[in-house]
């Protein structure tokens, strides 16, 4: 069984706590993405799993065995590095072969393995080149190849696509996902690119300042963020999050005063909240429908600025000196200065309490 489990893992560098009490579990066949801004401790977490960094406290279990005391080479893991880390003096073939030397395979077996991997990742033609003669995308494929050539317990990827250009990244994203789905191993991918996480992962752990903010499926991370950080971090353009006040509660329907307007939202169930307390109201820019006229279920405002996004436009809407953003189809032909009315889509709004914790999705 190929599983990874972290129990209360903590890593401090002097006064700085890089990873703070992280617990998570990656099952066989699961791809976990550690997602977060730079410096949130995601790479450190990965390096601790690999044994390249020693944890200050906590346990790392691989295949349900505690590997805290094991050296990197005894943990039987494979890792692809952000800067590829290819051996500069070895050819592509030799780079691929390197992990196999520790396995006591015969020359012939090693050759076969290399060609097998080279075929999967289309490396045949460049097999005799040195790393400095390769393009970024090729280096990246060699790095992945070197990681998957052995039959390790689990796979670790550190920002595998961060150095590729957009087109190549899209292509490689698909390729890696395909390769991983054939391998049936627990995999951890570190990334700061949410699109990468949302497309490749079966489970996402969002990290901030060494803490895990939320672990859920990609869809839940997007649709049901547990706090304002996750809500703001995931999704582009960023979610609109504004201070609000509950002015009236009518079973499941809340009257929310927000941006000096009053809007009625039906959350579908009675909520445990108090009138006149401060809350945060969140709604994604794409979760607005244009309304013909102002109603008590819509927000009104004047278009301040229009950003072109291809078939859609990002509108900055000004309402009583506060602004929010929405994405609308270009076909509406909205111009700067237009007054528009926006109705939040049903079950795509979020209410957070003053600590940023979610109260309701509705």
Q: From the list 54, 87, 122, 124, which residue makes contact with another protein (rule: CB under 8 A)?
A: 87
Positions in 12-51 near another protein (CB under 8 A)? 47, 50-51
**Which of these segments, 68-76, 108-116, 244-252, 281-289, binds another protein (CB under 8 A)?**
68-76
In whole angstroms, how close is the CB of 149 to another protein at the nearest point?
A: 10
Q: From the list 62, 79, 117, 206, which residue makes contact with another protein (rule: CB under 8 A)?
A: 79
Please enumerate in sequence order all residues whose Cβ is within 8 A of that of 109, keeping only pairs 6 or more positions apart, or say none. Answer: 100
Calpha distance 74→69 (Å, rounded): 10
With CA atoms as reference, report the closest residue to 262 among 273, 272, 248: 248
Under the binding rule (CB under 8 A), the answer on residue 145 touching another protein is: no
Phi, psi of 177 (to 5 degrees): -60, -40
In the shown chain, the binding pattern of residues 88 to 127 toward another protein, with x for contact by CB under 8 A and - for none, equals: xx--------xx-xxx------------------------
Calpha distance 352→320 (Å, rounded): 22
In the bound state with another protein, the residue whose beta carbon lies nearer, of 59 and 76, is 76
Would you report the helix, strand and coil content of the chain in percent, each value rounded to 5?
A: 25, 40, 35
Distances (CA, A) of 76 to 49, 63, 92: 11, 11, 22
In the bound state with another protein, the residue whose beta carbon lies nearer, of 136 and 277, is 136
Q: Which residues pair with 19 in a beta bridge?
A: 11
Q: From the list 82, 245, 252, 323, which residue makes contact with another protein (rule: CB under 8 A)?
A: 82
Distances (CA, A) of 111 to 101, 121, 129, 349: 12, 15, 16, 56
Q: From the list 9, 35, 67, 86, which residue makes contact with another protein (rule: CB under 8 A)?
A: 86
Binding site for another protein (CB under 8 A): 47, 50-52, 71-73, 77-79, 81-89, 98-99, 101-103, 132, 146
């Amino acid at each position: 069984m190929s599983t990874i489990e972290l129990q209360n893992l903590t890593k401090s560098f002097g006064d700085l706590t890089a990873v703070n009490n992280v617990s998570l579990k990656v099952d066989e066949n699961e791809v976990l993405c550690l997602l977060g801004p730079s410096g949130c401790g995601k790479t450190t977490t990965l390096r601790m799993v690999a044994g390249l960094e020693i944890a200050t406290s906590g346990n790392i279990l691989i295949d349900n065995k505690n590997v805290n005391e094991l050296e990197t080479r005894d943990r039987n893991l494979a890792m692809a590095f952000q800067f590829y880390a290819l051996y500069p003096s070895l050819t592509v073939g030799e780079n691929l072969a390197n992990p196999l030397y520790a396995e006591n395979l015969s020359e012939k077996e090693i050759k076969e393995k290399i060609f097998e991997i080279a075929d999967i990742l289309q490396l045949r033609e460049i097999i005799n080149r040195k790393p400095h003669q390769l393009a970024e995308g090729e280096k990246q494929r060699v790095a992945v190849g070197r990681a998957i050539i052995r039959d390790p317990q689990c796979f670790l990827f550190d920002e595998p696509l961060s150095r590729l250009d957009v087109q190549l990244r899209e292509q490689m994203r698909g390729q890696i996902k395909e390769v991983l789905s054939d391998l049936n191993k627990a995999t951890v991918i570190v990334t700061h690119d949410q699109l990468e996480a949302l497309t490749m992962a079966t489970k996402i752990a969002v990290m901030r300042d060494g803490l895990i903010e939320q672990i859920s499926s990609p869809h839940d991370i997007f649709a049901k963020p547990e706090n304002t950080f996750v809500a703001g971090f995931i999704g582009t353009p960023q979610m609109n999050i504004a201070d609000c006040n509950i002015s009236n509660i009518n079973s499941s329907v809340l009257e929310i005063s927000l941006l000096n307007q009053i809007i009625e939202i039906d959350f579908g169930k009675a909520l445990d909240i108090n009138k006149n307390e401060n809350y945060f109201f969140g709604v994604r820019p794409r979760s607005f429908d244009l309304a013909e006229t102002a109603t008590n279920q819509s927000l009104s405002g004047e278009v301040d600025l229009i950003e072109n996004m291809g078939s859609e436009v990002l509108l900055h809407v000004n309402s009583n000196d506060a602004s929010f953003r929405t994405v609308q189809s270009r076909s509406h032909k909205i111009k700067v200065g237009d007054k528009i009315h926006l109705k939040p889509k049903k079950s795509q709004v979020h209410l957070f309490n003053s600590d940023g914790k979610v109260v309701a999705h509705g």
